[in-house]
Amino acid sequence: MYNIQKIRADFPILSREVYGKPLVYLDNAATTQKPRCVVEAITDEYYSVNANVHRGVHFLSQQATELHEASRETVRKFINAGSTNEIVFTRGTTESINLLASTFGEAIMSPGDEVIVSVMEHHSNIVPWQLLAERKNIKLKVIPMNDRGELLLDEYEKLFTDRTKIVSVVHVSNVLGTVNPIKEMIATAHAHGVPFLVDAAQSIPHMAVDVQDLDADFLVFSGHKVYGPTGVGVLYGKEEWLNKLPPYQGGGEMIQHVSFERTTYNELPFKFEAGTPDYIGTTGLAKALDYVSAIGMDKIAAYEHELTEYATQRLKTIPGMRIFGEAAEKGSVISFLVDDIHHFDMGTLLDRLGIAVRTGHHCAQPLMQRLGIEGTVRASFGLYNTREEVDVLVAGIERVSKMF
Ligand code: PMP
């Protein structure tokens, strides 16, 4: 049983109004709303535990450390990693990819080496590699897609050379909703002896993700997109890989011993966690993962799939509707344009009806270029959205269309 009314009641913000209209929040790919239990876990820790973690001898510090490390275990279990040594806390997906591009680039790549990404990457999985390309003269190769928004796997296979050092691809596109066949793509990379980074920012909130089943070498995601707080995220890396990489930032926490002559680094995962971690944020993230786990990731996936199907069918009845991304495997994201109504105008007018959607290039300008457009309107669903909200969206779009 998926008790949608009970779930909605867990999210206080969903009962507010904007412009005197009930809020219809359909911008979940940008960030998700927070259930009461997450906010309360954060507040409780500030009120009753707060102390800096690790090495503290006093009671509060030890309790805060226990909470922080228990959160790491919660993340490990959630993605089925083999060890908490493989769970590095970061500020989010973007920082996780920058950490990896920087350290992997430093340790493993030489001028002339190649990275494979796809045409549907978020800027955060393009620009860090371009920065590395500038520093180290490495090359980016791009997997193309068909007009439905599916990656061309034959072309992917052809991109491998003896200079390919890593593949970095998004699991679920934040624009097209395409669920890439990431397990198969990882197997292809491994057949060429190449490790694989999965950008799971848009999959972790919507489906069960098992890093061992996928055999992912690295996997990254953000807390705020999975009903957790902002400013905290995860880099998963296989221990054998993380051990090969140098530290990212220097400072406290990441060292074993410091002298002016020679400094040695801490063990995993602390080697990559310089400075005071967001130990309150990790508590919030763990609470959010417990929350979605209690509902059940498979149930969430099934509910959202059904809702997205319903929305797609309803949207298609609108004259002039163009949907971008019609992959066979699709997540709960729908990008569209109606006639020649500018995406920004559509978004602004829908907002006045209480409907929150995103407009623009969605941090995927190369993908926009491939689609031959400047931007789209994007409705993205979360575990608390309903068919009634889809109906409000459809009625809203019809109303805006008539105005033009
Ligand atoms: N990758 C994808 C696929 C995303 O959708 C996003 C967020 N829109 C990011 C990376 C970046 O995430 P963050 O801004 O939380 O670092």
CA 2–ligand 1 middle distance (angstroms):
28
Query: Average pLDDT of each block of 10 consecutive residues along the chain (404 residues)?
Result: 96 97 98 98 98 93 98 98 98 98 98 98 98 97 98 98 98 98 98 99 98 98 98 98 97 94 95 97 98 98 98 98 98 98 98 98 98 98 98 98 94
* Nearest Cα residue to atom 4 of ligand 1: 201
With a 6 A CB cut-off, is 278 part of the ligand 1 pocket?
Answer: no
Is any ligand 1 atom within 6 A of the Cβ of residue 222? Answer: yes
CA distance 141 to 348: 37
pLDDT tens for residues 276-285?
Answer: 999 999 999 9
Any residues with CB less than 8 A from the CB of 314 and at least 6 apart, and which? 390, 391, 394
Q: Is 199 in the pocket of ligand 1 (CB under 6 A)?
A: yes
Q: Tell me the pTM.
A: 0.98
3-class DSSP state of 253: coil
| C-alpha to C-alpha distance for 329 and 220, rounded to whole angstroms | 21
**CATH code of domain 40-293:** 3.40.640.10
Catalytic residue among 363, 368, 373, 394: 363
For ligand 1, pick from 28, 89, 94 the residue to mutate: most ligand atoms within 8 Å of CB.
Answer: 94
| Whether the CB of 93 sits within 6 Å of ligand 1 | yes
What tokens were used for 155?
């072309």
- The helix or strand, by DSSP H or E, that contains position 216, with its residue range, turns out to be none
32 lines ligand 1 (CB under 6 A): no
Each domain of the chain, given as residue ranges in start order, spans 4-28+296-403, 40-293
Which of 138, 107, 140 lies closest to 123, judged by CA? 140
Confirm if 205 and 224 have CB atoms less than 8 A apart.
Answer: no
Does residue 90 have its Cβ closer than 6 Å to ligand 1? Answer: no
Fold match, 4-28+296-403 / 40-293: no
**pLDDT at position 69:** 98
Domain 4-28+296-403 sits in CATH 3.90.1150.10: yes
Distance from C-alpha of 77 to C-alpha of 75, rounded to nearest angstrom: 5
Is 202 a pocket residue for ligand 1 (Cβ < 6 Å)? Answer: yes
**Residue-level pLDDT at 34:** 98
Q: What is the pLDDT of residue 184?
A: 98
The CB of 203 under 6 Å from ligand 1? The reply is no
pLDDT at residue 391, as a whole number: 98
**In 3D, which of 187, 168, 184 has the Cα closest to residue 116?**
168
Whole-number Å distance, alpha carbon 373 to ligand 1 midpoint, is: 21
Measured distance CA(374)–CA(268) in Å, rounded: 43
Return the bridge partners of 164, or none: 114
Which pLDDT does position 56 carry in this prediction? Answer: 86
C-beta of residue 169 within 8 angstroms of C-beta of residue 118 = yes
Mutate to test the pocket of ligand 1, among 126, 172, 222, 333 (most ligand atoms within 8 A of CB): 222
39 C-alpha to ligand 1 centroid (Å): 22
Check residue 229 and give its pLDDT: 98
Find the 262 Cα to ligand 1 centroid distance in Å: 37
Known catalytic membership, residue 363: yes
